[in-house]
A and B are shown apart, each in its own frame.
Chain A
Amino acid sequence: MSFEDWYRADRLPHIFCAGCGNGTIINCTLAAVEQMNWKREETVFVSGIGCSSRAPGYILTDSLHTTHGRAIAFATGVKMANPDLHVVVFTGDGDLAAIGGNHFIHGCRRNIDLTVVCMNNQIYGMTGGQGSPTTPKGALSTTTPYGCAETPFDLCDLAIAAGANYVSRWTSYHVKELEKAVKVGLETPGFSFIEALVQCPTAFGRRNKFRQVADHIEFLKTHSLLRAKRDRLLEKGEPVPEDMFVVGELMRRNRPAIGVKP
């Protein structure tokens, strides 16, 4: 048995562009789900709207493809209606941070037993490359042709502040670490949030000097700062580099959760 058995072989190859990282994140998530020994009938994948949210259509379990931004709201309903089900939510940054931001923070506040995998490609890829709440400062997109002037959302900090039980961030380069993080998230009772930064060669990379997919992967590799290293830098009082993002397990705690079977 490998994670490939969870795919609907007749639906592949999928619709994602060449070099899109979403397929990698689905691989890692399914590899983690595979290790949990869950039955297919008891696993549900929920998604909203966007590139990333096409993922459950390629997975051989029951799934919900819901309205824009409401994936966590629907998943809450699924979990409360039948707490025996294992619910995994696939979502993107436009889905989770922009239109579904409120559902996200209230999902964290209630600490409901879900695992949310956010594929953050830092742009609205499906609609043609508009700037999203997580577009980094200075990045070009169709709605920010002179460079994005706003401060991007840090989704992990948001989840920690709102009260999620498990929060971690990895990229599509760190596949093994991401697989382990998703597995810990699936095991943790309560809300677990895993943010995965992915490359988007068609909408983001094309406008931001990452024409080759490998260039963007190299960027993700070189600009990720491990959390332990960040902590060491802070301890020594040295400045943390501005252009780097922190990866690793950012929070693990035991707040009271709902939807957990006793």
Chain B
Amino acid sequence: MKLVIDENRCKGCNLCTKVCPYHIFREGKKLNRKGIAVPELDRPERCTNCRLRNLYGRQLCGVCQLTCPDQAIHWIDEEPYEPHKVAIEY
């Protein structure tokens, strides 16, 4: 699974930066077409739901999706053979 922020829906409230336990969301700096700084993703491959959703077959964590007041955060299935970065956390 892959974490996606919908630029059309995001209003730039930065609540996701507050609630994610991994601090995957960072405040964006670049304004988009609507004049909104959409948060950036910081190594999104660390996200629990991205890694383990298909293994467990259910929604894991998902606090950012529930918290997002504008329904801008969701997960999509990856294309087959998409290159992955390996994130090791100590």
**A interface with B by C-beta (< 8 Å):** 2, 4, 7, 12-14, 16-24, 27-28, 31, 172-173, 175-176, 179, 201, 213-214, 217-218
Can you list 24 A-B pairs, Cβ within 8 angstroms, ordered by A? A2-B59, A2-B74, A4-B71, A12-B70, A13-B11, A13-B71, A14-B70, A18-B11, A18-B13, A19-B13, A19-B15, A21-B69, A24-B15, A24-B67, A24-B68, A24-B69, A27-B65, A27-B67, A27-B71, A28-B66, A213-B13, A213-B15, A214-B14, A214-B15
* A172 vs chain B, min Cβ distance (A): 8
**Which residue of chain B has its CB nearest to the CB of A178?**
B66
Residue in B8, B17, B36, B70 with the greatest tally of chain A CB atoms within 10 Å? B70
- Asked if B9 is at the interface (CB within 8 A of a chain A CB), the reply is yes
CB-defined contacts of B63 to chain A, threshold 8 Å? 175-176
Per-residue interface assignment for chain B, residues 40 to 80, with 1 indicating a CB less than 8 Å from any chain A CB and 0 otherwise: 00000000000000000001000101111111101000000
Residue in A21, A23, A172, A213 with the greatest tally of chain B CB atoms within 10 Å? A23
Q: Contacts A2-B59, A13-B8, A13-B9 given: A23-B14 contact, CB under 8 Å?
A: no
Bound Cα distance from A213 to B12, whole angstroms:
11
- Asked if B18 is at the interface (CB within 8 A of a chain A CB), the reply is yes
Q: Contacts A213-B15, A217-B15, A217-B18 given: A12-B69 contact, CB under 8 Å?
A: no
Bound Cα distance from A106 to B57, whole angstroms:
44
- Whether B66 contacts A12 by the Cβ 8 Å rule is no
**Which residue of chain A has its CB nearest to the CB of B34?**
A13
Total A-B pairs, Cβ < 8 A:
67
Residue in B15, B17, B59, B65 with the greatest tally of chain A CB atoms within 10 Å? B15
- Whether A23 contacts B66 by the Cβ 8 Å rule is no
**Which residue of chain A has its CB nearest to the CB of B36?**
A18
Bound Cα distance from A20 to B12, whole angstroms:
11
Bound Cα distance from A76 to B79, whole angstroms:
49
CB-defined contacts of B70 to chain A, threshold 8 Å? 12-14, 16, 18, 23
CB-defined contacts of A22 to chain B, threshold 8 Å? 69
* B90 vs chain A, min Cβ distance (A): 28
Q: A2-B59, A13-B11 are in contact. List 19 more A-B contacts (CB 8 A).
A: A2-B74, A12-B70, A13-B9, A13-B72, A18-B12, A19-B13, A22-B69, A23-B68, A23-B71, A24-B66, A27-B65, A27-B66, A27-B69, A175-B63, A179-B66, A213-B13, A213-B15, A214-B15, A218-B18
Per-residue interface assignment for chain B, residues 2 to 36, with 1 indicating a CB less than 8 Å from any chain A CB and 0 otherwise: 00000011011111011100000000000000001
- Whether B66 contacts A20 by the Cβ 8 Å rule is no
Bound Cα distance from A179 to B67, whole angstroms:
11
CB-defined contacts of A173 to chain B, threshold 8 Å? 19
Bound Cα distance from A103 to B39, whole angstroms:
43
CB-defined contacts of B13 to chain A, threshold 8 Å? 18-19, 201, 213
